Chains A and B, each alone.
Chain A
Amino acid sequence: MSAFLSIRNLSAAIRGGPRLLRAVSLDVEVGEVRGLVGESGAGKSMIGKAVLGILPRAVEVVAGEIWLDGVDLLRLRPAERRRRIGATAALIPQDPLTALNPSRRIGRQITDRLVDILGWRRGAAEARALELLNEVRVPEPERVMRAYPHELSGGMRQRVLIASAFAAEPKLIVADEPTTALDVTVQKQILRLIAQMQARHGTALLFVTHDLGVVSKVCGSLSVLYGGLVVEETSVRDFFRAPAHPYSAALLAATPKYTDPAAGLNPVPAAVIDAVRAEVAAADRNWPHG
């Protein structure tokens, strides 16, 4: 296994029900930013959740492997898996307004993993948190450390969450639509910040988004999903030059162009949808629950 994160033939399903992920395979190298794109329900968030071990209770992994830093997470005992994920990976969540615990001070929420899981001394962890808050350009970091989440704006909270994700120098970060819940003006800043932080720390980044514009700015490679199936896996440059799969091409064509309002909207054609659905159905041929 050369890639830092390597997902092999991962299938997940609602217990006793339909599959949500259909033999997904993808690699993320150290320092690589891979985008996961698709419509809602395509399973892109599910992949991130499976990697971090936070799938909803109703969903179970039915087959496949998730290799993280040379270890198949799915073969570990739950306690071991949790520790390993906590020590090597981190999440930048979607909604900064709900992802911070309202009754705990910011400082504690950044340092807790360092102290409790990685065994740092509190003083060292707090120094590290301050350093990170400076790095993500949070003004008055000392004050923010003592603040409660409700005292900060949404953009500030997302900066805090980014600082928290990078604090333990994880080798992999999963960013789950990290700008969707933010104002458009703040989105750009946060996006640039994530890209800068990733480049500086050399972290592998799995970037879940439905926004191809975001992919073009941040990612180096991407996987296009439909119905839990990876329909195309390619570099961002090749994708925007000439998408290989008809569905990818249609998705790209459907992206609204703000520079040319006259172009209007180009929804994905029905024929393309039918074709990609047939692919999904073909993948399910040996799946008992349908």
Chain B
Amino acid sequence: MLLRRILTRLLTTLVTLLGVSVVVFVVIRVVPGNPIAMMLPPGATQADIDRLNALYGFDRSIAEQYVIWLGGVLQGDFGTSIQARQPVLRLVLNRLPATLELSIMALVIAVVLGGFLALTGTRLRGSRGEGAIDVTNGMALSVPDFLWGLVLILVFGVLWPVFHISGRVSPQYIQEFTTNFFLFESVLRLRLDLWLDLVSHMLMPALALAIPLAAIIGQLLKQSLKETMHLDYVTLARTKGYRENHVILREALPNAVLPTLTLIGVQFTFLIGGTVIIERLFSYEGLGNMAIDAVINRDLPLIQGIVILFAVLFTAINLIVDLLYAVLNPRLRHA
């Protein structure tokens, strides 16, 4: 059953990706801005322009271009970046680990912070403490991630400079890594020095991404927990002699967590979208930063590659959330 569900999902995913590719392909060719014009020095002749247009295939119709591009993609060739003159796939895959590590770090921070807010709020329900939690949530939620980024840069980068606010890793360490998963690698190789340097760089952008998500998680989870705490099986557990904390964590939490899980799935894709601005803000060498450069340079093949990769990421996350849902909710397991 589960296998069949996964297969269906994969199939719909393929159709989705195809649709995404068409939309991106057409849109970036219709909007004003010419990639060739960006490459040539001023005073280039019409003949030069035509030659380059022919080289990149921009002289053909959009439909023709699409078919050629799709043919390449099916063979694993996403084209060549106009700016970097390197295969798009390699460029994009080189940057992906940086963005993945940042996003996952932000997600973990958001879940921990949000979970803590929700559980504390539930424990303190009806008291002033709950009011304080609600206010904190509201504030965190009403400020967008890039503003949190600026606040963090100001506080922890300028006024009290304890963290790095630019880049992914200190320059002297770059040669140390053999993969692009720096954080992961530093853990596997038990290199505390590298790990600390990476965390010192990543913590601020990750926190900026995490704070609004933490607030949403905190709010929704607390709401679900409060409703669950009124249910009969929670009351029954109380009569058995369990402490309040135990009742919240074991009886209420597993049943209250499902709506939050769905929300995290949706919000995580927004968070990854947020990396575009946050990476720029913190000069973090990830996909998002690369996407902005690609758009500025009208690097059409690169934009396509990045957007497709983001789309793959988003659908993969949705699939994972679906599967997690089935694991956590026994009633769905046989459905």
Identify the A interface with B (CB < 8 A): 52-54, 57, 79, 82-87, 89-91, 93-95, 98-104, 112-113, 116-117, 148, 150, 161
Contacts and interface: CB of A to CB of B under 8 A. Distances in A.
Contacts of A91: 236, 239
B4 interface: no
Nearest to A96: B232
A70 to B, nearest CB: 18
Given A91-B236, A98-B232, A98-B233, A103 B328 contact: yes
B241 A82 contact: yes
B128 interface: no
A103 B330 contact: yes
Given A148-B330, A150-B330, A102 B255 contact: yes
A87 B255 contact: no
B299 interface: no
Contacts of A104: 254
A101 B255 contact: yes
A85 to B, nearest CB: 6
B189 interface: no
Interface residues of B, number: 21
A98 B242 CA distance: 19
B240 interface: yes
B237 to A, nearest CB: 8
Nearest to A58: B126
A102 B231 CA distance: 11
B136 interface: no
Interface in B284-322: none
20 contacts: A52-B238, A82-B241, A83-B241, A86-B241, A86-B242, A87-B241, A90-B239, A98-B231, A98-B232, A99-B236, A101-B233, A101-B237, A103-B254, A112-B240, A113-B240, A116-B240, A116-B246, A117-B240, A117-B242, A148-B330
Query: Which 5 residue pairs are nearest across A and B when measured between Cβ atoms?
Result: A86-B241, A113-B240, A99-B232, A98-B232, A117-B241
B283 interface: no
A57 B235 CA distance: 12
A26 B328 CA distance: 45
B34 interface: no
A52 B330 CA distance: 30
Interface in B164-196: none
B251 interface: yes
Interface in B210-239: 231-233, 235-239
A61 to B, nearest CB: 16
B241 A85 contact: yes
B329 interface: yes
B243 interface: yes
Nearest to A168: B240
A15 B239 CA distance: 22
A104 B330 CA distance: 9
B331 interface: yes
B331 A99 contact: no
A93 B236 CA distance: 8
Contact of B329 (A54, A103, A113): A103
Nearest to B126: A57
Given A93-B232, A98-B233, A103-B330, A86 B251 contact: no
B243 A101 contact: no
Nearest to B258: A103
A85 B331 contact: no
B239 A53 contact: yes
Given A85-B241, A90-B239, A101-B233, 14 more contacts: A52-B239, A53-B239, A82-B238, A87-B241, A89-B239, A91-B236, A91-B239, A93-B236, A100-B233, A102-B255, A116-B240, A117-B240, A117-B241, A161-B236
B59 to A, nearest CB: 61
Nearest to A116: B242
Nearest to A82: B241
Contacts of B238: 52-54, 82
